[in-house]
Chain A
């Protein structure tokens, strides 16, 4: 190695160490691609709809089963879930079918299977009504959630569902699950 080569080699090492790019420089670009455009969480808000099981991201607002029952008829929910949510082409949302004793053919229902009440709110707001998802107000989603939970006797009559009360609802099958691949998490 000539003196000139030694100097430039040392310079390369210095640059690499100073940017910290050497170890994970998979693409040989020397640094991150950096084409992402910065954006604020405030500007992402309209899309940020996922609710976490601990209640993170639940919006302001509230609702009760009485209003929920009315909405359930008005918004066309009965077309797929039946009158009062007790049947229909896409399954009952209010039912007492047990999970145990039916082997793998048991019908998974909100009451006998779902582990988290937040899933009810998240899915209604995200995907319902089927033909017009994400058109319900947050109050309406809370009301429909209350209607389903109360109908399933998971909350006492008249309980107001909001960001504080919803994550507290106890689901009967909460401990019914075995993590299949814990080492992959």
Chain B
């Protein structure tokens, strides 16, 4: 090992052991960590190697649908209503068990208010009408013939992270707190290509988009967004949409509140005013401390959180760890992510995984040497529009907190939380949720 790969005090870029992200580029950082701490800690040599059982016999038969190893069976979503009782069902993504930037289809978060409809694609129809020259109806067969685009984007429920409106930090894991956001590669028809052919009345300003689900969920969407980057999505990470994601066709509004990304789209009506449907008039009009409320909180604003390490994990020994997390902004591209290990006293730039994409997950990492003492980890992101993830103080001042601690991590005391998430690590290496 060359001397330049050894971690020295000079490589510390911020308090409590945050190391230069340049170590990642230089290579050998894990080895350096092992050399400087792990070997010193353990001393004893490893056992002699033996041929394992599973290497000596033929394995099981390959199936038409690939299957996950049984050793990863705990990598699953948390359900709030597993028996499908007559109320909303939520399934949250286990970000603490995943890595990279794409959420696998069977682990993508979903919320259904009346269960998953079983829609026959051969009979499903999409109608576009209202303030147009010529109303049209499209079969899925026809829709599939339009020119398609592919892009990565996250979808986030307006109620994601709502437990962080609690005045005291809710002790729950990352999946419970931030599991209502996921990121996928979506393929479909730009909505503008379809709207092109109906001839929109210049006086129209909004469209009402309605699903074929039991509750016929409807949201009002400004035409400005519809003609900008909206997509009628047909494919999710390369395969046809999951039934729970809106098969056979879903509206994708990159970066905008999850509930507006209407599933099972069957009707788009061009109009001159918003409808103020149930979900926009009630749920997604977040209350402010003075009893006023925000209306049309479309954008999921710049946000980040650390996935590794996070609540419920344990650091078994001091030494080298990689801090890793997810950053995203509904207003653009992630430009910078900073990490602190001392509760916000000092910050260092994390390495950002490129190429970064607009309104999509960006993975960030930074090397860290834990000295075995208490530490508080947190991250803050900045997007290319200069929007900075607000500190907890800034956020609470504007948006408020509960007067009593929140006891149910799956409840929704408010909507659209995008402030910091902090993990407190004690001398035993145990991790709790803290406010810093």
- A: which residues have CB within 8 A of B? 24, 26-27, 29, 32-41, 44, 47-54, 56, 80, 89-90, 99-106, 108, 113-116, 118-119, 122-123, 126-127, 130-131, 133-134, 176-181, 184-185
Residues on A with beta carbons closer than 8 Å to the beta carbon of B402: 103-105
Indicate if the CB atoms of B276 and A118 lie closer than 8 Å.
yes
| A-B CB contacts (within 8 Å), total count | 184
Indicate if the CB atoms of A114 and B282 lie closer than 8 Å.
yes
CA distance A105 to B288 in the complex (A): 10
CA distance A106 to B400 in the complex (A): 12
Residue of B277, B288, B400 with highest tally of chain A CB at under 10 A: B277
Assuming the A-B contacts A44-B127, A104-B289, A116-B276, are A180 and B197 also in contact, with contact meaning beta carbons closer than 8 angstroms in the complex? Answer: no
Assuming the A-B contacts A33-B147, A35-B142, A113-B282, are A119 and B276 also in contact, with contact meaning beta carbons closer than 8 angstroms in the complex? Answer: yes
Give the distance to chain A from B35, nearest Cβ to Cβ, in Å: 51
Indicate if the CB atoms of A131 and B86 lie closer than 8 Å.
yes
Residues on A with beta carbons closer than 8 Å to the beta carbon of B271: 52, 56
Task: Give the size category of B's interface with A.
Answer: 35 or more
One digit per residue, 1 when the CB lies within 8 angstroms of any chain A CB and 0 when it does not, for chain B 193-233 equals 11011100000010010100011101000101100000000
Indicate if the CB atoms of A50 and B277 lie closer than 8 Å.
yes
Residues on B with beta carbons closer than 8 Å to the beta carbon of A116: 276, 281
Indicate if the CB atoms of A105 and B295 lie closer than 8 Å.
no
CA distance A2 to B297 in the complex (A): 58
Give the distance to chain A from B396, nearest Cβ to Cβ, in Å: 10
| Nearest-neighbor residue (CB-CB) of A177 within chain B | B295
Q: Which of B11-19, B129-137, B243-251, B364-372 contacts A (4 or more CB under 8 A)?
A: B129-137
Residues on A with beta carbons closer than 8 Å to the beta carbon of B401: 103-104
Pull 17 A–B residue pairs with CB atoms less than 8 Å apart, ordered by A.
Answer: A35-B146, A39-B137, A47-B210, A48-B129, A50-B210, A53-B276, A100-B291, A106-B287, A122-B278, A130-B114, A133-B214, A133-B216, A178-B288, A178-B293, A178-B294, A179-B296, A181-B298
Q: Does B145 contact A (CB under 8 A)?
A: yes
Assuming the A-B contacts A24-B196, A36-B136, A127-B215, are A178 and B403 also in contact, with contact meaning beta carbons closer than 8 angstroms in the complex? Answer: no
Indicate if the CB atoms of B287 and A108 lie closer than 8 Å.
yes
Indicate if the CB atoms of B278 and A36 lie closer than 8 Å.
no
Q: Does B333 contact A (CB under 8 A)?
A: no
Which residue from B129, B134, B278, B298 sits with its C-beta under 8 Å from A184?
B298
Which residue from A41, A100, A102, A134 sits with its C-beta under 8 Å from B129?
A41
Residues on A with beta carbons closer than 8 Å to the beta carbon of B225: 184
Indicate if the CB atoms of B297 and A181 lie closer than 8 Å.
yes
Assuming the A-B contacts A47-B266, A184-B299, are A36 and B287 also in contact, with contact meaning beta carbons closer than 8 angstroms in the complex? Answer: no
CA distance A126 to B213 in the complex (A): 11
Indicate if the CB atoms of B87 and A89 lie closer than 8 Å.
yes
9 new A-B contacts at CB < 8 Å, known A32-B197, A36-B142: A33-B194, A44-B129, A50-B277, A114-B282, A119-B278, A123-B277, A123-B278, A126-B216, A180-B296
CA distance A48 to B268 in the complex (A): 10
Q: Does B56 contact A (CB under 8 A)?
A: no
Residues on B with beta carbons closer than 8 Å to the beta carbon of A177: 285, 292-295
| Nearest-neighbor residue (CB-CB) of B128 within chain A | A36
Q: Does B151 contact A (CB under 8 A)?
A: no
Q: Does B275 contact A (CB under 8 A)?
A: yes
Indicate if the CB atoms of B277 and A179 lie closer than 8 Å.
no
Q: Does B124 contact A (CB under 8 A)?
A: no
Residues on B with beta carbons closer than 8 Å to the beta carbon of A102: 291
Which residue from B134, B205, B267, B294 sits with its C-beta under 8 Å from A47?
B267
Within 8 A of A (CB), among B72-86: 86
Assuming the A-B contacts A39-B135, A105-B413, A119-B276, are A178 and B292 also in contact, with contact meaning beta carbons closer than 8 angstroms in the complex? Answer: yes
Q: Does B427 contact A (CB under 8 A)?
A: no
Residues on B with beta carbons closer than 8 Å to the beta carbon of A114: 281-282
